[in-house]
Chain A
C-alpha cells in the first residue's frame, strides 16, 4: 500500500485558489475512475468529453467548494451526472439496442471487450431494466454500483436528501430484480450496501 497522500482533496482545491495549476492534481487523482464510470454509461468517446468538461467546470467552481468535504469525488460525480444527464436519450437508446440485439454499443466501441459472453441473456435483461429506469433512479443506482459512493456521498453528489437516495435505490433495485426474474422485488435488502 502506498502511503496516503498527506494532502486531501479539500486541501488541494484550497491550494488551487492561489495556485491554479495545482488543480491538475485533482485530475490526476480522479480522472481515470471517473472516465471509466462515464465510459460504462456512454462509451469511451463520450467519456472523454464528459471528464474534460467535468474538470473544467469544477475548476471554475473551485472557489465555492465546501472545504469540510475532504473527498472531492461526490462533487466531481455530481458535476459529471449533470453532463451525463444531457446524454440521457443516447444512453437509453444504447441500452435498448443492447437489450434488443445482444450487442452492446458501448462495448463495440472498444476493441478490448466483447459483451457477448456467458451471461448474455442476463446482460440483455439488465440493459432493458436500466433503460426503463428514470434517469434520477439510474444515477443513484449506478453511482452506488459502479462508483462505490455511499448513500451520503450520492446525496451530496446529486444534491438530494439521503432519504431520497434510499427510496430511489430501493425502487431501482426492485425493478432490476424483477427484470432479472429474481425474487419478489419487495425482498430487496439494503444491508448488503455500503
Chain B
C-alpha cells in the first residue's frame, strides 16, 4: 500500500496530523496516524528503521521548506519526559496582514477572515505594503535574479490579504541565458549557505583556454546586469572574482553535506566589491595600476554623476582629471575607447602606448574602405 502513496501525500498527511494537534505528539503517534509510516509499527526491525529514516528525511526536508516542525520535550500525566513533535499554527500560517493608518488602496484583512484563526496579526502601513510589493516585483523583474520564482510566490501570499496592488511599471528584458544563470546561482547559493566548496570550468573572456576551478564561495555579487561569485580559488591560492555566466556546470562538494568545508575569513567584506566596474573587479590575474584620465566638459559631469574613478583635478573650463584603480587593463582601455574621444589617458605612459596599440588595431579593420 505504501508504494502507492506519493511524497506529496505523505507530507500532507504529516502536516495535517501535526497542525490539527494542540499538544506535542510522539513519534509512535505519528507512525500510527500517517499511512505511509504504517510499517514503522511493525515487528520487523529493518522495516521500522527504514520508516524512521524516511520520517527523519521528511522532517528535515519540510523544515528546509519552512514548515516549522518543532521537536519538544513533554510530559503526559506525570510520566517520564519524552521527545515529541509540534507544528504550531502561529509559526506555520502567514500572519494576517492588517493595514493600519488609513489611506489604503487595498482590502483590509481581519483575523477570522478566510478561516480559523491560529495565525497572528501583523500591522502594516499602506506605504510599507507598497514597498514590500514593489521590492518583490522589482526582484521578480530583475534579469537572472536568483529567487525570481520565490519573489513571485511571496507576492501571491501578500496579495492574499493586501490585494494585487497596482501593476508595476518595471519591465526587465531577460537575456536568453538568464535561466541557465539562475540554475547556476541556485547551486552556488546552496553551497555558500552550507559553506561547501564548488568546482566548475571557467571561461575567461579574452583569455586562452578554459580552466578548472575549485572555489570556496565567500559571497555573491550582483552588479548591474551580472552576477559574480567571490571566493578563495584553490588554483591561484587567492581571493578571486568569477562571472557566473562564464562558469560551466558548477558542482558542489557533496561529501559530508552537513559539515562546512571552510570558514569565511573574518576580515572579508563583500561590500568592498560593490559599486565597482569590470576593470576594477578583475580576477586578480594582472597587477593593478593607477590611471589618470582627463574628461572634457560636459562628459566630466556624466563621469562625476556616475562616480567613475576619483576626482584628482578640476579645471575652470569644466574638465576634470580622475584617477582609476585598474585591475584589468583590457576592459578599461575598451571603455575609454567607447567614449569616442571624450576621455584622454594622461598617465601612465605604458597605458597610453597600450591604448594607441588598441586604436591602431581598430583602425586597421576600417583601413581598406578608402
Q: Are A and B bound to each other? A: no
Interface set of A (CB-CB < 8 Å, partner B): none
